[in-house]
Chain A
Amino acid sequence: MQSEVLIEAEKLTKKFGDLVAVDGISFKILKGECFGFLGPNGAGKTTTMKMIHCVLPSTMGELTVAGMDVARNGREIKQMIGVAPQEDNLDPDFTVFHNLIVYARYFDISKAEAKKRADELLNFVQLEEKRDVIIEHLSVGMKRRLILARALLNEPQILILDEPTTGLDPQARHLIWSKIRSLQKQGVTIVLTTHYMDEAAKLCDRLIIMDHGKIIEEGNPPDLVKKHVGEEVLEVAHDEKVMRLLQETFQGARLEVVGEKIHVFTNKSRGVFAQMLREVPFKEAVIRDANLEDVFLKLTGRRLRK
C-alpha cells in the first residue's frame, strides 16, 4: 500500500490557561486509512480533532493537513474535511433536506448541485423518507445519520467522526459502521474518536490511545491486544485460595481482581487456560479472547474520570 502522509502532528500542544489539554503529541495519519483516537474523557481527543479541522488554534507544535499548515490555510483545509461532531448541532428550524441545503451553501456549492447531493446523501444514510421532516421529530440515531450526511456534502477527502455512535441502538451503530467502511473503500480517510473498543477494533487500521493529553500507546488493534494482554483471558470467581493457585500456576501472568472476578492475562499461547481447566475445574471459569478493552483498561486504569 502506498503510504502517503495526509495529516501530520509534531509536538502538538494545546493549553487552556494552566490546563494542558494536549501535551506535545506527534502522529501521522496516512491517506485512505481509518485512524482512531481512544482515551478516557478529558484525554484530549476532541481538542485534537478541533485543531485538525482548524476551529481551535494550537498553542505550540506543528500540524499539517495535506501539507498545509492549519494556522495559515484554515479555509482550504476546511474545504476538504467533513466533520461529524459529538453534539447535535443540526438546525432545529429546518427540515432534514433544508439542513443539507443551507449547509452546502457554506461550501459554495451551487443550489442545483446541493439539491442533487442532498438527495443522494439522504439515500446513502437511509433517511429519504424523512426528507421533509423537522429535526426535532427525528430519533437520536436519525440525527447522527443526518450529521454524517451533512459531513459528506463537500465530498471530503478526510472525514472526522467524533464519537459517531455514542448513544445509538445496535441497529443504528451497525448502519453507521457499514457507511464508514464503504466511505473508506471510496478512498476517504477516516479519523474517529470513540469510547467503544469494539468499534475501534472493527473499524480502525491504526489507533492511538491518549490519556491526560499524551499518547500512551499506538499501533493496530490486533498487535496491541497481543502485545499487552496476550491472546486469551481467563475469568474465574474471586477467592483467596484460587488466587494463590493461579499465582503458582501462571508465574509472570497478570492477575487482576475486577469486582467478584479474577482476570488472568498471560503472554503464553492460546490453549494454556483450557489445559489448566481440564486439570483443575474452577468455579465460574470462562475463557475468552483478549480484546482492545482489556488493553485500554490496562493502560488507562479502572479509575473513573470526570
Chain B
Amino acid sequence: MKLSNVPSHFRIPKLSYRVWKVWMRDRDVLMKTYKTTFLPPLLEPILYLLAMGFGLGGFVQLIDGESYIQFIAPALVAVSMMFSSFFECTYGSFVRMYYQKTFDAIIATPVSLEEVIAGEILWGATKSLINSSIVLGVIAAFGLTPSPLFLLIPPISFLVGLLFSAIAMCFTAISPTINSFEYPTFLFITPMFLLSGTFFPLTALPASLQILAQLFLPLTHAVTLARGLVLGRLELTLLLNLAWLLVVTPFFFVLSINLMKKRLIK
C-alpha cells in the first residue's frame, strides 16, 4: 500500500528518543509539586474503602466468595489508572497546549510536534503507573492483596494509562475550550467508572449491556485484570483482556497524534 493511501488520521508518526525529553519536562514539574499531587491518590482510595468497603460492604453478600471490600479494592486500583491518565492528557495537556503555550515553545527546538504529543501520552501513562501504585500500596496496607501476583499490576497500569492518555489526547485535539471536557467526563468516564464491573460484577447487568461493556469500555478490561491478579485467579480469559488493550492502544495512540497535528499545524 502506498503511503498516500493511508488515511491521514492513521499515518504512523515519526518518533525519536526526543519523546523522552518531553516526558522529562513533565516529570520535572511533578518533582516540584509532588507534595500536593501525591495526596489525592493516597487519600481517595482510603475514603472509598472506608465508605463503600466497610460501610456499604456490611449490607452486601459475599461476591464469588469474597467480601465486598475485597471485591472493590482491585477495582479502585484500576479506576485510579483511568482517572490519573485521562485527566493528565485532557485538562493537563490542554493547559500546557493552550494556556501555557508549552508545545509552541518546544516545537521551536529540534523536537517535533509528534514527539511532544507522544511524550505527553507517555507521561500520562506514567501518572497512571504512579497513582495506581500508590493505591495498590494502600490496599496492600489494608491487607487486601492476598496473591503476590498483584506485583504484576504496575506494568499493566502503564499500558492502561497509555490507552486512556491516548483517548484523552483525542478529546484534547478536538475540544474548543477546556470546559468541553465535561462531555467526555460525564458521558464516557463516569459511566465507565460505574459500569465496568467496579462496584458490582458485570454479570449483574443485562446480557446486552455486558457485551457492550466488554467491547467498548476499556476500564472493564483493566478491572478484570487487576482483580484477577490481586486475587490470584489466573484464567485464560485474562489474556483476552490484555489482547484487547494491546490492540486498541496503538490505534488511539496514532489517531491522537494525527488529530493533534491537524489541530496545531494548519
Contacts and interface: CB of A to CB of B under 8 A. Distances in A.
Interface string A208-219: 000000000000
Contacts of A79: 110
Interface in B60-118: 100-102, 104-112
B105 A103 contact: yes
Interface stretch (A86-94, A232-240, A269-277, A292-300): A86-94
B207 interface: no
Interface in A61-84: 74-75, 78-79, 81, 83
Contacts of B29: 91, 93-94
Nearest to B17: A108
Contact of A55 (B32, B100, B108): B108
Interface string A123-142: 00000000000000000000
A74 B109 CA distance: 10
B105 A91 contact: yes
Contact of B106 (A81, A98, A106): A106
A103 B111 CA distance: 11
B18 A89 contact: no
Contacts of A88: 101
Most buried by A among B21, B100, B109: B109
A268 interface: no
Given A74-B112, A75-B112, A107-B109, A56 B265 contact: yes
A89 B108 CA distance: 11
B265 A85 contact: no
Interface residues of A, number: 28
Contacts of B25: 91, 102, 105
B110 A78 contact: yes
Nearest to A53: B108
A199 to B, nearest CB: 22
Interface string A103-124: 1011110000000000000000
A89 B110 contact: no
B109 A87 contact: no
A251 B265 CA distance: 53
A108 B111 CA distance: 10
B32 A103 contact: no
B32 to A, nearest CB: 6
Interface in B158-182: none
Most buried by A among B28, B105, B106, B265: B105
Contacts of B28: 93-94, 98, 102
B109 A78 contact: yes
B33 A93 contact: yes
A16 B266 contact: yes
Contacts of A81: 108
B24 interface: yes
Contacts of B265: 55-57
B101 A106 contact: no
Nearest to B18: A106
A194 B75 CA distance: 57
A150 B102 CA distance: 13
A89 B32 contact: no
Contacts of A87: 101, 104
Contacts of B110: 75, 78-79, 106-108
A89 B266 contact: no
Contacts of A107: 109-110
B134 to A, nearest CB: 21
A78 B108 CA distance: 7
A67 to B, nearest CB: 18
A39 B93 CA distance: 34
A98 B18 CA distance: 19
Contacts of A106: 18, 21, 106, 109-111
A239 to B, nearest CB: 51
Contacts of B104: 55, 85, 87, 89
Nearest to A150: B105
A18 to B, nearest CB: 13
A92 B100 CA distance: 7
B105 A93 contact: no
Interface string B25-62: 10011001100000000000000000000000000000
A89 B101 CA distance: 5
Given A56-B265, A89-B102, A83 B33 contact: no
Contact of B108 (A57, A85, A102): A85
Nearest to A104: B109
Contacts of B111: 106
Given A55-B108, A93-B29, A107-B110, 6 more contacts: A85-B108, A88-B101, A102-B24, A105-B25, A106-B21, A106-B111
Interface of A: 16, 53, 55-57, 74-75, 78-79, 81, 83, 85, 87-94, 98, 102-103, 105-108, 154
9 contacts: A55-B107, A78-B108, A85-B101, A87-B104, A89-B100, A90-B105, A91-B29, A93-B32, A102-B25
The 7 closest A-B pairs by CB, nearest first: A89-B101, A106-B109, A89-B105, A83-B108, A93-B29, A75-B110, A106-B111
